Amino acid sequence: MKALLSSIVGGPETLSIGELPEPVAMAGHIVIAVKACSINFPDTLIIEDRYQFKPPRPFAPGGEVAGVVEAVGDGVTGFAVGDKIIALTGHNGLAEKVAAMAFNCFKMPEDMDFATGSALLMTYGTSVHALKDRGHMKTGDKVLVLGGAGGIGISAIELAKAYGGYVVAGVSSEEKAAIAREAGADDVVIYPYQPFDKDASKDLANKFKAAAGGDGFNIVYDTVGGDYSEPAVRAIAWEGRLLVVGFPAGIAKLPLNLTLLKSCDICGVFWGAFAARDPKTNMDNINSLFDLHKAGKIAPRISQRYNLENAATAIAALGDRKAVGKLVVEI
């Protein structure tokens, strides 16, 4: 079957169209005819062997798909051939077919299209886990979302608003500011590109503080890292929570005296591991997302669609931080 292959360690330029063996529905697994696969930050890492998991080569990137059940393995219940589903696969999603563990598969609402389905789980699943389970968000909380125009940033804005928060988005351009406002952000801070010297870092911290007003942010949702994290923490409220979601700008180096002075928490958000360890709570979270989507409170913003032949371009755009909203490959 056709797939976008990572045959050697490297960036998107090393990917090429090739063939993989068709997957088999082993016990506890479902084989899916892939209709759409969204692009996420792990796709930029896994091809360079910088992700937590290193599958044997050749493999296809792509960890989030929507499609149709083609076969079910022994022990699988609740799914039948022909069902429309969305699934987390880890890798091999950028292929005509993929096998996924049944506990990572979810039936799609009938009124949801494949592209939307493929763009929902990883971003909104991460954000609902981050805000509810790790950030303990409550109505009235002030939330700063770094990287507010990307797919995961938009999901955090929409969910934080749905949960009754006041949301400020941090973005890098006026174009991205407009997108964050469209997603529901109450205010926007436009920050320059790193690296920051001491004065630039202080200036950004002051901008964040001004946007927060009062005592600062109860939650900082950090999808960026790098030099952006410290100014955000300086704008955090007493007993606030820094949610560490991703670091395309690099792993932040924080002065830990700030955590003492603000009595704040640094909370790691590893949604994939959480979903495997606590599938029931994760299922409840995903079902809540379906309800919010049906109510019109959340909706993945698909900014560009690709075919399999130019999917490497989508991965490159995400890695270069040029992507706005979600990028989806249709197969």
In a domain, 288, yes or no: no
Q: What is the dihedral of CA 65, 67, 69, 72, to 10 degrees?
A: -10
* CA-based nearest residue to 311, from 88, 120, 40: 40
Domain containing residue 312: CATH number = 3.90.180.10
pLDDT of 70: 97
Q: What is the pLDDT of residues 259-303, one digit of tens each?
A: 999 999 999 999 988 988 998 999 999 999 999 999 999 999 898
Rounded Cα gap, residues 80 and 30, in angstroms: 9
Q: What is the pLDDT of residues 142-176, one digit of tens each?
A: 999 999 998 899 999 999 999 999 999 999 999 99
In a domain, 181, yes or no: yes
In a domain, 295, yes or no: no
Q: What is the dihedral of CA 16, 22, 28, 33, to 10 degrees?
A: 80
Number of structural domains the chain divides into = 2
Q: Examine the domain organization and report whether 218 and 262 are in the same domain.
A: yes
Q: DSSP secondary-structure letter at 53?
A: -
pLDDT of 324: 74
Rounded mean pLDDT, 222-250:
94
In a domain, 312, yes or no: yes
Rounded mean pLDDT, 219-242:
96
Is beta strand 64-72 parallel, antiparallel or unpaired with respect to 84-88? antiparallel
- Residue 203 pLDDT level (bands cut at 50, 70, 90): very high
* Strand runs labelled E in 200-310: 217-222, 236-244, 265-268, 302-307
pLDDT of 35: 98
Is beta strand 84-88 parallel, antiparallel or unpaired with respect to 105-107? antiparallel
Q: Examine the domain organization and report whether 103 and 138 are in the same domain.
A: no
In a domain, 283, yes or no: no
Q: Is residue 4 predicted with pLDDT exceeding 80?
A: yes
Q: Which helix (H) or strand (E) holds 17?
A: strand 16-19
Rounded mean pLDDT, 96-121:
94
pLDDT of 151: 86
Rounded Cα gap, residues 87 and 32, in angstroms: 9
pLDDT of 319: 83
Domain containing residue 250: CATH number = 3.40.50.720
Rounded mean pLDDT, 31-53:
93
Residues found in the chain: 331
pLDDT of 249: 84
pLDDT of 191: 94
Q: What average pLDDT is seen over the chain?
A: 94
Task: Tell me the whole-structure pTM to 2 decimals.
Answer: 0.87
Q: Is residue 325 predicted with pLDDT exceeding 90?
A: no
Which structural domain, as residue segments, surrounds residue 251? 123-271
Q: Which residue has the higher pLDDT, 286 or 248?
A: 286
In a domain, 280, yes or no: no
Rounded mean pLDDT, 294-314:
93
In a domain, 289, yes or no: no
pLDDT of 326: 87
**Please, what is the end-to-end C-alpha distance for the chain in angstroms?**
12
- Residue 88 pLDDT level (bands cut at 50, 70, 90): very high
Q: Examine the domain organization and report whether 112 and 168 are in the same domain.
A: no
- Residue 212 pLDDT level (bands cut at 50, 70, 90): very high
Structure tokens at 5: 């292959």
3-state secondary structure at position 322: coil
pLDDT of 100: 96
Q: Is residue 181 predicted with pLDDT exceeding 90?
A: yes
Q: Residue 108 phi/psi, 5° resolution? A: -75, 140
Q: Examine the domain organization and report whether 65 and 152 are in the same domain.
A: no
pLDDT of 205: 95
Rounded mean pLDDT, 187-195:
94
Q: Examine the domain organization and report whether 141 and 266 are in the same domain.
A: yes
